[in-house]
Amino acid sequence: MSDYGLGGRLIARRQENAVISTLSADRRGRGTVAILGGLAVLALIFWILTRSDGEGAASEAISPEIALRGPSEVVERNNGASEVTPRPRTEEPPPGEPRRGAQPSFKGRGSVRGLVTAAKGSKLPESFTLNVGPSDSLFGREFAESRATELTAPEFEISDLPMGGYDVWVKASGMNSRRYPVLLSQSASSPYLVLRVSPTGFIDGFVMNKDGRPAQDLQVTLQAMFGDERLETLTRGDGFYTITDVPDGEYKISFGPLNEPLVPARELIFQAPSMRFPKIELPPTVDILIHTTDREGHATGDVTINGFGRPSGQLEVVTDFGGLGWVRNLPPGRYRVAARNGDGLKARITLEVKDQMGQEFWIAIR
């Protein structure tokens, strides 16, 4: 009885397992059918989206080449399809300048208008000069002409100017103004500018001789690299110098006579308010004392003396009422000297200047 019961239970368990396996297979089959059906739907949708009228090629609207184009517009074809065509890019040029690829027209005349303002913390002078002239950088400068107008009010208008490339700037004592380029053409015949001025600055420094002595009464010259600006000063007894009222810009600074400096000229870029220039050391130089007399040996003043040395050096001095004249920072060498006073008396002499201090020379004019 117990054996029959166990066999019955085994048969029943096998039948139950068979039913479960059948159900699982049935579920897997249905899942596979569902997946295949979904893939078929996706394929159908992709075919519909990518098909074109009559050709089956991909639409140009999704072409990578078209995607890289700039702003564009859509134009209808005859068969109803759409074509993407590029819209030309346009960039607006600066005021007064022609569009790219176009040449400005310089026929006719125009005007330059504007306002002069002062930098914060400063004020405009009571009067100043407004300048317009051929530009250093713009084309059309060959048609421009120079004008200088005295102003006492900040607003200005310079009219009846030939069209061309101009620079506009302000000149005033103690004031600094950069050059503003402006193109005067038919497309911009009356541009408006706002010019800003600010206080000028100063440059200072020291000049010493090779032996450590201060270079006294040495000429220091600041020459603009562009333009005719030139400023000069002399060193003090301690070798210190200050060049005042310096506008912003690029310069060359020289030490000694301008046509024969004692050291090579140096370049600098200045921007207000100030600059301390590096200390300058001169080659060996000496100071000499010259006496001027009449033919009887009496001291005679107000005598102008000029000379040039070999291998280098330049001499220039006017003696005082006692007939004395110091020539400082003079390179050693042989100097041919000419002396003349206001009465027409004159003399020529050669001076042998040695590399030693305390040298004195006498020149008798006749």
pLDDT at 105 over 90: no
Confidence label for 27 from pLDDT (cuts 50, 70 and 90)? low
Say what the pLDDT of residue 221 is. 98
Residue 33 is predicted with a pLDDT of 56
> pLDDT tier at 228 (50, 70, 90 boundaries)?
confident
The total number of residues shown for the chain amounts to 366
Look up residue 260 and give its two tokens: 């024969």
Structure tokens at 123: 């004020």
Q: Are 42 and 50 in contact (CB under 8 A)?
A: no
List, in sequence order, every residue forming a beta bridge with 334; answer none if it has no partner. 310, 352
3-state secondary structure the chain: CHHHHHHHHHHHHHHHHHHHHHHHHHHHHHHHHHHHHHHHHHHHHHHHHHCCCCCCCCCHHHCHHHHCCCCEEEEECCCCCEEEEECCCCCCCCCCCCCCCCCCCCCCEEEEEEEEEECCCCCCCCCEEEEEEECCCCCCHHHCCCEEEEECCCEEEEEEEECEEEEEEEEECCEECCCEEEEEECCECCCEEEEEEEECEEEEEEEECCCCCECCCCEEEEEECCCCCEEEEECCCCCEEEEEEECCEEEEEEECCCCCCCCCCEEEEECCCEEECCCEECCCCEEEEEEEECCCCCECCCCEEEEEEECCCEEEEECCCCCEEEEEEECCEEEEEEEECCCCCEEEEEEEECCCCCEEEEEECC
Pick 210 or 29 by higher pLDDT: 210
What is the mean predicted confidence (pLDDT) over 125-141? Answer: 92
- Position 278 scores a pLDDT of 97
> Across-strand partners of 128?
151
Say whether pLDDT at 347 is over 70.
Answer: yes
In this prediction the pTM is 0.62
Task: Give tens-digit pLDDT for 49-73.
Answer: 555 444 443 333 333 333 333 343 3
Residue 118 — pLDDT band, cuts 50, 70, 90? very high
Question: Would the pLDDT of 4 be above 60?
Answer: no
Q: Return the residue matching tokens 């201090």.
A: 357
Place of tokens 């004020």: 123
CA separation for the pair 21, 23 (Å, rounded): 5
The 10s digit of each residue's pLDDT in 259-293 is 889 999 999 999 999 999 999 999 999 999 999 99
Domains of the chain: 109-199 (2.60.40.10), 201-281 (2.60.40.10), 286-364 (2.60.40.2070)
- Tell me how far apart the alpha carbons of residues 82 and 59 are, in angstroms, rounded to a whole number: 9
Return mean pLDDT, the chain: 81
pLDDT score, position 121: 87
What amino acid is encoded at 65 in this protein? E
The lowest-confidence range among 65-79, 122-136, 214-228, 270-284 is: 65-79
* pLDDT tens track for 86-101: 444 445 555 555 555 5
pLDDT tens-digit series, residues 312-337 = 899 999 999 999 999 999 999 999 99
Q: What is the mean pLDDT of the segment spanning 34-48?
A: 67
How much is the average pLDDT of 333-352?
95
Q: What CA–CA distance (Å, rounded) separates 186 from 221?
A: 44
In the chain, % of residues over pLDDT 70: 72
